[in-house]
Amino acid sequence: MNSEKYQTGTVVTLQHCSEILKNNPLGDEFVRDVIVYLPPGYDENTNYPTVYALAGFTGRGRMMLNDAAFTPNFAERMDKLIGEEKIRPMIAVLPDCFTHYGGSQYINSTATGNYEDYLIKEIVPFVDENFRTIKDKNSRAVIGKSSGGYGALMMAMRHADTFGLACSTSGDCGFNYCYLPDLPKAFRAIKGKPKEFVEKFWDETAKKSKDDFSGLNIIGMSACYSPNPESEYGFDLPFDLQTGGINSDVWIRWIRHDPIFVMDMDRNIENLKSLKLLYIDAGTRDEFALDVGARILSQRLKEAGISHIHEEFDDGHFNISYRTNRSLEMISQHFG
Helices (H), the chain: 74-83, 115-117, 124-130, 147-158, 175-178, 183-190, 194-202, 212-225, 248-255, 259-262, 268-273, 290-303, 323-334
What's the pLDDT at 3?
47
Q: For residue 175, which of 304, 297, 302, 281 has the smallest C-alpha distance?
A: 297
Buried b (16+ CB within 10 A) or exposed e, 108-126: bbebbbbbbbbbbebbbeb
Q: Cα(124)–Cα(116) distance, rounded to whole angstroms?
A: 11
Q: For residue 226, which of 239, 216, 217, 237 has the smallest C-alpha distance?
A: 237
| pLDDT (tens digit per residue) in 191-209 | 999 999 999 999 999 998 8
Q: Cα(103)–Cα(112) distance, rounded to whole angstroms?
A: 9
Q: For residue 37, which of 14, 18, 17 has the smallest C-alpha distance?
A: 14
Structural domain spans, the chain: 10-173+267-334, 177-255
CA dihedral 142, 148, 151, 153 (to 10 degrees): 70
The residues that bridge with 54 in the sheet, in sequence order, are 144
Q: DSSP letter at 239?
A: B
What's the pLDDT at 4?
59
pLDDT-flagged residues of the chain (< 70): 1-4
pTM for the model stands at 0.97
CA distances from 258 to 242, 287, 292, 336 (A): 27, 18, 13, 29
What's the pLDDT at 44?
86
Q: Cα(58)–Cα(55) distance, rounded to whole angstroms?
A: 8
What's the pLDDT at 215?
97
Q: Cα(190)–Cα(194) distance, rounded to whole angstroms?
A: 6
What's the pLDDT at 104?
98
Domain 10-173+267-334 is found in CATH 3.30.365.10: no
225: Cβ contacts below 8 Å, ≥ 6 apart: 105, 253, 254, 256, 257
Q: Cα(314)–Cα(60) distance, rounded to whole angstroms?
A: 27
Q: Cα(224)–Cα(99) distance, rounded to whole angstroms?
A: 11
Q: Cα(140)–Cα(131) distance, rounded to whole angstroms?
A: 13
Q: What DSSP line would sit under 263-275, residue for residue? A: TTSTTHHHHHHT-
Q: Cα(93)–Cα(265) distance, rounded to whole angstroms?
A: 28
Task: Please return the burial class of 4, using the count of CB atoms within 10 Å of its CB with bins 0-12, 13-18 and 19+.
Answer: exposed
Q: For residue 320, which of 276, 277, 288 has the smallest C-alpha distance?
A: 288
285: Cβ contacts below 8 Å, ≥ 6 apart: 291, 314, 315, 316
